Amino acid sequence: MTKKPRPSGDDPERGYRYLGLVMTGFVTVYICSNLIGPAKAVQLDLPLLGALTFGAGVLFFPISYVFGDILTEVYGYAKARRVIWTGFAAMSFAAFMAWVVVQLPPAPGWPHQGAYEVAFGNTWRIVLASLVAYSCGEFVNSFVLAKMKLMTQGRHLWTRTIGSTIVGEGIDSALFYPLAFWGSGIIPDALIPQLMLSQWIAKTLVEVVFTPITYKVVGLLKRAEREDWYDRDTNFTPFRF
């Protein structure tokens, strides 16, 4: 028998079969896209657009928003909030570990210290900018989706997955680039608005491309978990776990 949508936000604890799996996917994509992707700049020659240069992480980071949409749509904002904070803690530890490993003196004769520093030696300014932008963007994404679900009475899933991503990714891009690079000399200040806009568009397009997959995963999870959360009485403060 199909379970009716639950009316409130902060549910009593109950077991979910796949919540841990979705959380693992979310955190894995987030950490990998921030630690592995930014180390490589990619240039593609596209029809009509010409040469397009971007950090490789932009191809995969938006997938974390897909996971965030799935979490909020199926399990509700409170569960998504817990996963977002888990991702924040995991990324903080990964960044700290990378910094410690880079600072350790290399063994005599080990020739790869320079390459290691390039791959994992992000400055703390970039790391902190990433954490701030991620937190704000993900919480806004989850909040917008939860509110739009109430407004649409659970219909038209694509409007809230894409709509919430437009807002969330917009905030993420608007925060990250000025916080990480403004006045640093790494990227000319005049190019930062252009980068913000191009990354925002690219990340949103990834969400659009993944919409059919999001529909399938959401449908499967709702049936498997017998859950379809509506955040009618949820406390939307981000400062809870």
User: Could you tell me which residue, 218 or 36, shows the higher pLDDT?
Assistant: 218
Indicate whether 181 belongs to any domain: yes
Q: With 60 as the cut, is the pLDDT of residue 226 above it? A: yes
Say which CATH number the domain at 144 has.
1.10.1760
Instruction: Please answer whether residues 89 and 241 qualify as being in contact, where contact means their C-beta atoms are separated by less than 8 angstroms.
Output: no
Instruction: Please answer whether residues 57 and 35 qualify as being in contact, where contact means their C-beta atoms are separated by less than 8 angstroms.
Output: no
The count of structural domains within the chain is: 1
Q: Supply the pLDDT for residue 38.
A: 63
Q: For residue 167, what are its two tokens?
A: 């807002």
Q: With 80 as the cut, is the pLDDT of residue 237 above it? A: yes
Query: For 97-104, what is the mean pLDDT?
Result: 91
In the chain, the percentage of residues whose pLDDT exceeds 90 is: 58
Give the Å distances, CA to CA, from 169 to 29, 65, 111, 118, 134.
15, 8, 39, 27, 9
Q: What is the extent of the structural domain holding 198?
A: 19-225
Closest CA to 227 of 143, 154, 144: 154
Indicate whether 14 belongs to any domain: no
Instruction: Please answer whether residues 108 and 40 qualify as being in contact, where contact means their C-beta atoms are separated by less than 8 angstroms.
Output: no
Query: For 28-34, what is the mean pLDDT?
Result: 88
Indicate whether 108 belongs to any domain: yes
Could you tell me the pTM of the whole model?
0.87
pLDDT tens per residue across span 48-65:
767 766 667 777 888 999
pLDDT tens per residue across span 117-172:
877 877 788 889 889 999 999 999 999 999 999 999 999 999 999 999 999 999 99
Q: What crossing angle do the helices spanning 157-181 and 61-75 adopt, rounded to 10°?
A: 140
Indicate whether 136 belongs to any domain: yes
Q: Supply the pLDDT for residue 28.
A: 94
Q: Supply the pLDDT for residue 241.
A: 77
